[in-house]
Amino acid sequence: MIDGYVARLTESSSKFGALLDSISDFIFITVMVPICITAFSWRWWMIGWVCIIAIIRFLSLGLGLMKYHSLAFLHTHLNKATGFLMFCFPFYYDLLGFTVTAVILCCIGSISSIEELMITIKSKELYRDIRGYFSLKSKSF
């Protein structure tokens, strides 16, 4: 989040840097999920919700790979918000408890993953730095 902002601010951003940033975010999530699964006592509905979000994310990545011949990680505002909330998880956990924090993260994660899938389905070109679904109106189809 901050690194992309600094790169744009200093005019040193690149397509490769954006892809590398997305891959590093993906690795961060992939590493953190098993740690969080073993560190907390999850209810069955929480595990199911996280699995549904993961399935939607993988569907979006697979569809993007087929359509654009590239890993289609999108930098939407909701994806950035989801990443920020996941990064701040320890603070929210201490403040709100596990269940409330999990519900908030899953709500935002669900909305952002559905938005990413909808963008990937609807757009004909890959727009990595799209703000969100309603920004598609300004893009050419």
CA distance 86 to 106: 10
Quick count: other Cβ atoms within 10 Å of Cβ 62? 12
Residue type, 44: W
% of the chain exceeding 90 in pLDDT: 41
Please state, in angstroms and rounded to a whole number, the distance separating the CA atoms of residues 114 and 133.
Answer: 10
45-57: buried (b, 16+ CB within 10 Å) or exposed (e) per residue? ebeebbeebeebb
Question: What is the tens place of the pLDDT at every residue in 58-117?
Answer: 999 999 999 999 888 888 999 889 988 888 888 998 999 999 999 999 999 999 999 999
The residue ranges of every structural domain in the chain are 2-135
Spatial separation of the C-alpha atoms in residues 67 and 65, rounded to whole Å: 6
What's residue 40's pLDDT? Answer: 83
